[in-house]
Structure 1
């Protein structure tokens, strides 16, 4: 096991890479976006991200982010799910993570192994948080998806985006339906609320977050946010 404490400045990014170890990641400030060929996950304070060994991915942070990572060798990673996901991290989970770090630093191998087994059991029996967004795999559709995630307040409509990236509206709709399971408009709405997390957690007024996310109606934004995350933007912020 390896441990890492990090503090990244806004727009810090890693290139596409993979490692033989599994990774647990949790934050005390900011958010981190982990992207693979098929999806992206947003890790926030109060959650822990699990990414299994050999997963080809990249990561970036929209603003300053501080947190920790544990890198687990493949045998120990077997205690955890074989798929990437983000889970709620209550005080017990955080305490286990910190104990794992401490046991590693003190070279308490047997104790560390028991802690990791317990941590894996806890995570395996928790529901995933709705912090995953499926991405299209077609290059042109993926470019559109990336553009909308970077600029959720974009005023370009579906036809304009399709034309800009060399697609017909019909083909764009087909690709999103086939590759994400959502219509283009449904996916765009979900992308807006996922992208809004960076401003929600930065403490911006909800009216400003709604505007930056491409919503002219604050109430509509709050309702879509609540439907996605089970909380209003104000409730989502750490106490």
Structure 2
């Protein structure tokens, strides 16, 4: 297990590994993105990318994250799909133990048994609604990337579609088919998920709402509550 600390936000390139990676964030927030979705990983959750999963990681300033590399076989029971899961007290203890493994000698077979126990615990965790599905169509993905980078953009669906050379009707059909959400639903979810990076910075909720593209803070609070089951203020108090 190795730890990462960042004084400033940094995004790495697309890459993959011959091993799985478990992300344990103790402070701040990181984003993990694949071709299918983007996930936000915060304190109280754990992220997972299986081996050969092409992904990139964005680590925001002030983050403390531990990354556990797991070399495993297909028969070892680790999940085949990436995701973010709620942390359990037992898994938290296991990860604390994992941070010691490089410094202490253990009997033969210990690491293999330890990895097997991790796979069982990860499989039992509840997946959290911290992911945002992404379209695979090139034009729709360009629009999705633009909106994720500028959540407060006032460009309409018609303007975005015209800029990227796709009809509004086709764009709507693509988002519904490839993300399971209508374009307007996806755009709202994108704003709420992106708001997490400003919430973890400790910004006032009014400022977070404005940066996320909401002119009405009450509308932002309600959208956040529907997505995460609690208000942004309560969520913020848990991670700071």
Q: Fold-level match, TM-score > 0.5?
A: yes
- Aligned residue in 2 for 1:135: 134
TM-score for both structures, normalised by structure 2: 0.93
Equivalent residues of 1:99, 1:115 under 8 A apart = no
Distance in 2 between residues matched to 1:53 and 1:45, nearest whole Å: 23
SS state at 1:166 partner: coil
The alpha carbon displacement at 1:119 in A equals: 2.5
- Aligned residue in 2 for 1:86: 84
The alpha carbon displacement at 1:170 in A equals: 1.1
Gaps of 5+ in 2: none
Distance in 1 between residues matched to 2:8 and 2:76, nearest whole Å: 33
SS state at 1:50 partner: strand
Deviation string 1:69-116 (CA, Å, 9 cap, x unpaired) is 010102388332111111112443222112022123313254433333
Equivalent residues of 1:87, 1:127 under 8 A apart = yes
Equivalent residues of 1:27, 1:44 under 8 A apart = yes
SS state at 1:114 partner: helix
For the aligned residues, what is the CA RMSD? 1.7
- Aligned residue in 1 for 2:150: 151
Distance in 1 between residues matched to 2:157 and 2:21, nearest whole Å: 37
Map 1:58-207 to 2 at 5 A.
58-75=56-73, 78-108=76-106, 110-207=109-206
The alpha carbon displacement at 1:120 in A equals: 2.0
- Aligned residue in 2 for 1:43: 41
Q: Where in structure 1 do 4 or more consecutive aligned residues deviate above 4 Å?
A: none
Deviation string 1:197-219 (CA, Å, 9 cap, x unpaired) is 00111111111111110111111
Number of corresponding residues: 237
